[in-house]
Structure 1
Amino acid sequence: MKILSPRVLQALERFNAAYPWDHNAHYHRWILRQLPTRFDRALDVGSGSGDLARLLAGRAAAVVGADSDPVITARAQQLTPAALPVTFTVTDAVAEFPAGSFDVITCVATIHHLPFTPALTSFRSHLAPGGTLVVVGLSRAQAPVDHLLGLIAVPANAAMGWLKNKGRPSSRPVSMTAPTRPADMTFDDILRETRDVLPGARLRRRLFWRYTLVWNRP
């Protein structure tokens, strides 16, 4: 991004603001492909407006959406049909849930808001044997490959915004109204700490300033 002039950056910012799209929701279908067809209980950490929790409810007997923001959590509850087996709770800590109580835990664009290693340790504790953890996270660019992926994402991001909005300027979706913050850990930091807590976890850099982490508890 630093190789682009301020004028180009400003133009891109205006364009992206006019054609917003949810980078996190872009990975929801990918997340579902990492999970069993059916499972009992799921926990979505940082559930926001509840989009992923509602998708998980199509496969789970029960889903808990946990988020620290009461405003977006209330909106998630409003958007969720009463017939779906989803409950939302406002909490800053996952530790309040019983150990081993979830077959699936998802966490999208949230773990960088938390102390990283304690969060992974908590997820490991709350995942039942044979369960699956899927994280879509943000990392701070440092390595050349990070900057290359970021550069590739710039035109791809604009193109996706245009296509998803069908060429019409739009307001931000509800899912993009939750509080955000930049990531402070690099991918290498994340990789090193993950290996200590979750041996065998699979991590990969992704487009649109994201990485993915998948771990299956033995």
Structure 2
Amino acid sequence: MKWIDISRTLRGGMPVWPGDTPFSFNLEWTKEQSGSVNVGKVVFSTHAGTHVDAPYHFSEAGKKVHELEPDIFVGKARVLHLPGYESIGAEELAAHDLTGVERLLIRTDSWEDPDRFPDSFCCLRPDAAPLLAEKGVKLLGIDVPSVDPIDSKELPAHHALCLSGIHILESVDLSRADAGDYELIALPLKLEGADGSPVRAILKKTA
């Protein structure tokens, strides 16, 4: 079984959170100029594309990206396909046996046009966090830009997940991932002091 790339491509013109830094890539040295190599320069937000939110993103006392344990982002994962909801909370998740699931990815299909930042999307209700923690979840991924609504300033789902010891992976492209069990690799860059990091996230179906 081949690995499935569930990362959004980092490219010029890609949708970013309103007001956030646009992504750009340019060659600073060309092979012709340097005589030997091409060398590029990238400018992007720490929340560009598929990315990890470190707790420091929403809490001054929270851990920063370089302080996160790598094994959180590597290992067995489950994809749940839950389309058609405005929000997902304990009620919707309780219908599924998640006992022993350490990494949960929720496919909502609510980001319909990946070339345009959505006006709204399915989000997570805070009451999901204690239930997921009880089941053993330590990483929650979702296929939209945030676990909270676009207009939220309090970020209740972010805080509830953090208080429950659950890390956050956002903007995952699960369009080619059916519900089921997988191996996941979604390592953030080791950016000292950072509040988040893009990841190259991949899945491989398990038997």
Question: TM-score, normalised on structure 2?
Answer: 0.31
Q: TM-score, normalised by structure 1?
A: 0.30
